[in-house]
Structure formats: C-alpha cells, structure tokens
Structure 1
C-alpha cells in the first residue's frame, strides 16, 4: 500500500487521483457469515466486505447523498435458494441497482475490474469512463456508467475532492477515510462463518488496534 502524509497538500492531491481507480485483482471475500433468513441482515458484513463503497461506481458511504442497496448476482427469481447466500450478495449504489434491474453483471470476485474499467481523472475527459475489454463494455452498458449523470457525478466528486484537499484537511479526511461508526462484526450473531480469519481484517477490529489506514 502506498504511503501518503495527509498533513501535506501535495499528498492529498495525489491521493485524489486514486479514488476512481479500480482494483487490479479480483476481490477475495474475507467474510463468510451464514444463517440469516433475511438478506438485509447481511448489510454490515457487506459494507465491510466492499470497503464501505459501491464496487462498480466506487462512490463511498461517507459521501453525502450516497445510498446503497443489497443486490443478488443471480436474481432471486432464478435461484430462490441463493436469496440469503452471502456469496451471492453485493452492495450496490442505489441508482445502479435500479438501472441494473434483473440483468446480471460480472462478479468482481472473478474478474479484476481494474483490467476492465478506466476513469479519466484530468483534462477534458475528466470523469469519463472507458472499457478496457468486453467485460468492461458489458458492465458499462448494463449499469450505464457512461451516462451523462454518472459521468457528471464522478466529475463533481473529483472537483470536490481536489478543492477540499487544498482548503479543508478535516473534511478531506472524512471523504477519503472510513466511516466513524463501524460495525463490530465479532459481536454479530450468525449460525456459522466459513471465513473467521476475516474478522481480524474488519475495519472495526483494525480501528480498535489503531492500525486502520487513514485513507483507502
């Protein structure tokens, strides 16, 4: 992980350029809870799983007016037996979930989104998204990530972050860091968890140890 000193304006500005960079490797699930009969009960697990942001838009929970829905990779109508299967669940920005409907998108646990999608951070194309391959084309098409509205949202946030990086360090830290209130997954009541090691990777656990990164 790169090192940035958030007390330095130059480092804060450099960090802005990484906000809309997709991961270069497929996501590896670190949590594996089971036993809930209502998939909404998995919300805190999914929030921590996907770093409190939307996997496909990269909009964050700490950003105002950002709301998240729980979605199923395989639609409930096709596989009702997977309605409460944790590995079939993902956290999506509400707008994207409504746009997606019942259509499927590639599983970010099987494809590296950084090899599929690229967001321009500067110049005339700032905020525009491009596909790097056919998988990226499908993601953009299904979720309309290249719509005027989606592009403007990214452009607005790039500009906002650059502005606060220069004028308001505390607000920048809020926008670039984890939420203040983090779920304590160790206390969550589940019948089983096939990835217990993930509890020690959760944001709350790291925060209590004093090792949670200031940014991500």
Structure 2
C-alpha cells in the first residue's frame, strides 16, 4: 500500500477498517455474480425467454480482442512450446493449403492452420510418429519444462502484483470520502475507484491461468510420449 493509503487506514474508524478488510478479501474469492436471495421473491417464476445468452452489441468483439491479446502474450512467452507442437502436428496432421499454389495457410501468429473433420475435430494420425521422433520430442519437452515453469511463475507473479494494485485502489477509494458518508457509500466509491485496476487484475489472472494450463498440457504430452515408448 502507498503511504497515502497507510495514512488513511490509520484513522480511528474501526467500522471503516472492518469494511475495508471485507472489500480487500474479495480479491481472494471466486469472481462470481452475487445475487441477492431476496430478489428471487420479487417474482414467482423465472422468465427464461428474456434471459440474455450473448454479449451486448459491441461487447463480443471487445471481449475477443482482450482474449486475443492474452493469447499473444502466451505465444510470446512460450515460443518453444508452440514450435515443438507445430513440428509434432506437421507429422500427424495435414496443413490447410491455398488451392492452385499449395501455399500453407497460417494463423495470425504465423503457425500453420490444420485440416479438420466435418465434426470440427482435427484430422490427425499419431501412428505416423516413429519411436525416434517420439524420443526427440520427449527430450525437448522434458528439457524445456524447467524454463516454461519459471515463465509461468513469472506470469503468476505479475497477476499477484496486479491484484495488489487492485486492493490498494479499493482501499484508497473507500477511505478517501470525508463527511457523513455511510459504509455502503464508501464501499461503492471504492469499487468505482478500483474498477480499472480490477479489470487489469482479471486480465493478468487470465494470462497466468492460460500459462499454467499450457505448461501442464506439455507435461501430459511428454508423459504420453514416454508411455508410448515403453509400451
């Protein structure tokens, strides 16, 4: 916390400090929508025909842009993983090519796009991998895990720092108002003051979770390659 926030917290306001603690603890709780149970009593039945199942106009492209930014960070942080996987896929899949030229179609990151079955699953045949190729991929994955785990830990660290900024902003927003202001009003002002930091923390948490899942997937692939060699 900054010196400004520490000075504010030192004020003899036990109720405000207790409420601030509750706000800060929100960062450790699952990010779920909290629905007041009393609202369920306002209607005898739920009108599912009015339930919104998609993003509002403009939101979908905005969310996709944010997720694309997250994917970009992951690709830049783990180029070795994507290099290995695309080399492996080149053995077991068929790339999409441009009719007439035979040029391989690539995605926005420069990796090949792969042919899919009518079901949407990729067309692939892992029996094409020889034992020598499996052993080579296994060795590269095993030796790469040390670096990948450290990179994932760094991204986790940045997500924790973003979370700390969020908590700090919430505390400052909560304690700044003066005069006769209720705890509920302070709480709302704290949330508004920290809204930008909150979304940044969510974004960094998303990146960290993606990195963790990617490295865990490589561990599983390495184990499966090992099992196929000893079977």
TM-score, scaled relative to structure 2: 0.26
Question: 1 or 2, which has the higher strand percentage?
Answer: 1
Question: 1 or 2, which has the higher helix percentage?
Answer: 2
TM-score, scaled relative to structure 1: 0.27
Rg (Cα) greater in structure: 2
